Amino acid sequence: MPKHPSANASSPPSRSGLPAWPWAPRGITWSPPGFGVVPYPVKVTPDPSLPAGQRVLIKPGEPGTTYRVGSVKTLVSPPVSAHVLVGTAVVNTLSIAGHTYRYDKVVSMLTTAYNGSASMNGRWGAVAAWDGKPLHPGDVAVDPSVIPFGTYLYIDGYGPARAVDSGSAIIGDHVDLFFDESSAKIGAWGLQWHKVYFLVKKPANYPG
């Protein structure tokens, strides 16, 4: 007896002995249901405070989910967009004594000096406020709201530095420079204005 014209060779017969209808499970037009993924969009915001090309993720995205039965697709959960900052600041180059520094900002700031003496560090001693490590030349105290801890700097008249310390008298555009010197030499520094370069990465000759 010839086969039914709609028969699918891979389909088991129904209880009646005839092949499944095309739209029924295992019929020739049937497809299994399943979940799908919807890619999430990415919102990009230019940021002039970041070096050109640098990307910072401030909000991760989440893909959406769909559920498909045959040709019918339903959105189960919508995607959540990610938010990325992309730097637009121009990165400049400073070359001094055979060393090259890359910076994206330079500001004239008031500088003072201090050493490891108890009179200049209080009961906490000569340790960095940022990580509690002993201070050494190249460490400077800053107002963290102006220069975030961990920022690498180049300071005219001082050299490569890093913001690791703070103090009650260090407010605004003021940087206190650490020297491993006598209090007499520290006092001779007085108040000086210097250019402070905000570096985009750790300089090779940073003493720390």
> d(Cα 17, Cα 192) in Å, to the nearest integer?
99
For tokens 């490891």, name the residue.
116
Q: What is the pLDDT of residues 32-88, one digit of tens each?
A: 788 999 999 999 999 887 777 788 899 999 999 999 887 788 999 999 999 999 988
The yes-or-no verdict on residue 181 having pLDDT over 90 is no
Per CATH, 34-89 and 92-199 having the same topology is answered no
Residue 9 has pLDDT above 50, yes or no: no
Domain 92-199 sits in CATH 2.40.40.10: yes
Cβ count within 10 A of residue 203? 22
Report the pLDDT value the prediction gives residue 129, as an integer from 0 to 100.
Answer: 86
Domain boundaries of the chain, sorted by first residue:
34-89, 92-199
Span 101-120, pLDDT tens digits:
999 889 999 999 999 888 88
CA distance 199 to 207: 15
Q: For residue range 120-170, list pLDDT tens digits in order.
A: 876 677 888 888 889 999 999 999 999 999 999 999 999 999 999 998 889
pLDDT at position 20: 52
Per-residue pLDDT at 24: 57
Q: At residue 55, what is the residue type?
A: R
More confident residue, 22 or 84: 84
- Element counts in the chain: helices (H) and strands (E): 2, 13
Q: Among residues 96, 186, 181, 198, which one has the least CA distance to residue 147?
A: 198
Q: Which CATH architecture has domain 34-89?
A: Single Sheet (2.20)
Give pLDDT, residue 28: 56
Residue 59 CA to chain centroid, in angstroms?
Answer: 11
| CB distance 158 to 111 below 8 Å | yes
Query: Which pTM was predicted?
Result: 0.61
Read off the pLDDT band of 90 (50, 70, 90).
confident
Given a cut of 60, is residue 98 above it in pLDDT?
Answer: yes
Please name the residues in contact with 3: beta carbons below 8 A apart, sequence gap of 6 or more.
none
pLDDT at 91 over 70: yes
